Amino acid sequence: MLQQISERIVKGSPDSVRDYLLLARLHKPTGVILYLLPGWWSFALASGRRPDLVAMLCLAVAAVLVRGAACAFNDVIDRDIDAQVARTASRPVAAGKVSIRNALLFAAAQALLALLVLLPVNVATAVIVGASFPLLVAYPYMKRIFFWPSAFLALVINVYALAGWTAVTGRLEVSATALGLYACGFFWTLIHDTIYSHQDKEYDRSIGVKSSALIFGAASKAWLLVFLALSVGSALWAGAQAPTGWAFFPLTVAAGLLLGYQIVRVDLDDPQSCWDTFKANVSFGWLVLAAAVAGIFT
């Protein structure tokens, strides 16, 4: 439903605006949700029974802006590669609809606005998210120089799990619970980004860029199941460190079983199956959030 609403908004926007909304990937909200949810996991466990809903909303708005900034910058760096891949050739920068200069200004404006949105929450949260910006800028280069770009991406975007914790505490400190949720998100990112990379593996192979799909090859599903065990195990460990009730644990295991089913079912040689499974990954994140909330009240 969120996907359909986002697509309608982008499609119905004026031509002069639409290319920038496409550049920010507002028509594909899955990426925002995957970035946001680890932050909300931490926020829920740190808040207890009295969450600050305004702070929670600020985290969501900032997530949209940070993701949009990252996508715009990524499209500038990857414009030549995107032009060679059928799935990405129509992106605004690769297609010449938005200039490099305007795309960079758009990325910078979104990044700055994200920090301004987070400042009313507290300075610590804005500092943590702002500190991740140089790493987000570095990410597009990783597929050229680093053998495992998904791991770098996982390190960077799950900083939001730490930001969700500081949004409640207001202190630049890392708790055991936040670290456990960071690890959960890290291994979850390895799962969904590996599935995502299988869409373009033939193009990546011919172009010469690196991806998880090319690293793991035919053994991808075995590795995905290993990452699943580590992700769920990290979440359970995080819950054991937090003042949470019994409901957190069976719901987290249920989330893992659902994600395991998706891993077994996906056809990694079918780009459409990979895309559908990538989008379906959000169900794991929502279930872990439900587990956090249920744990607070049990």
Segment 31-68, tens digit of pLDDT:
999 999 999 999 999 998 889 999 999 999 999 999 99
Q: How far apart are CA 278 and CA 193, in angstroms?
A: 8
Per-residue model confidence (pLDDT) at position 189: 98
DSSP state letter for 121:
T
* Contact between residue 135 and residue 155 where contact means Cβ atoms under 8 Å apart: yes
**Mean pLDDT lowest among 9-18, 32-41, 57-66, 232-241:** 9-18
**Which among 105, 18, 121 has a CA at the least distance from the CA of 69?**
105
Q: Is the pLDDT of residue 12 over 90?
A: no
Q: Which amino acid does the sequence have at 284?
A: F
* Band of residue 3 on the pLDDT scale cut at 50, 70, 90: confident
Confidence at residue 123, expressed as pLDDT on a 0 to 100 scale: 97
Other residues' Cβ atoms within 10 Å of the Cβ of residue 220? 21
61, 193, 219, 186: which is closest to 126 by C-alpha?
Answer: 61
Mean pLDDT of 72-98: 92
pLDDT at 180 over 80: yes
pLDDT band at 202 (very low <50, low <70, confident <90, very high): confident
pLDDT at 129: 98
Q: What is the CATH number of the domain that holds 172?
A: 1.10.357.140
Residue with structure tokens 């900034």?
69
Q: Locate tokens 């119905």: which residue?
A: 12
Phi, psi of 64 (to 5 degrees): -60, -45
pLDDT in tens, 246-282: 999 999 999 999 999 999 999 999 999 999 999 999 9
Q: Quick one: how many helices (H) and strands (E) in the chain?
A: 17, 0
- Residue type for position 79: R
Sequential DSSP letters for 57-76:
HHHHHHHHHHHHHHHHHHHH
Which of 88, 195, 194 minimizes the C-alpha distance to 149?
194
Residue 205: pLDDT over 90: no
At 206 the pLDDT is 81
Residue 151 to residue 185: CA distance in whole angstroms: 11
pLDDT over threshold 90, residue 173: no
Residue numbers of the domain that contains 194: 2-296
- Identify the pLDDT of residue 243: 87
Asked if residue 190 lies in contact with residue 278, where contact means CB atoms within 8 angstroms, the answer is: no
Would you give the DSSP letter of residue 219? G
Mean pLDDT of 218-222: 97
Give the per-residue pLDDT at 2: 77
**Category of 174 on φ-ψ map: left (φ > 0), alpha (ψ -120 to 50) or beta:** beta
Rounded Cα gap, residues 266 and 140, in angstroms: 26
Structure confidence at residue 85 (pLDDT): 84
User: Does pLDDT of 6 surpass 90?
Assistant: no
Classify residue 172 by its DSSP letter. Answer: S
- Looking at 78-219, list the stretches that DSSP marks H as alpha helix, in order from N- to C-terminal side: 79-82, 100-118, 123-131, 133-145, 149-157, 159-169, 176-197, 201-207, 212-216
Name the domain count of the chain: 1
pLDDT at 86 over 90: no
Contact 214, 272 (CB under 8 A): no
Query: In one letter, which amino acid is 78?
Result: D
Residue 105's pLDDT is what?
Answer: 98
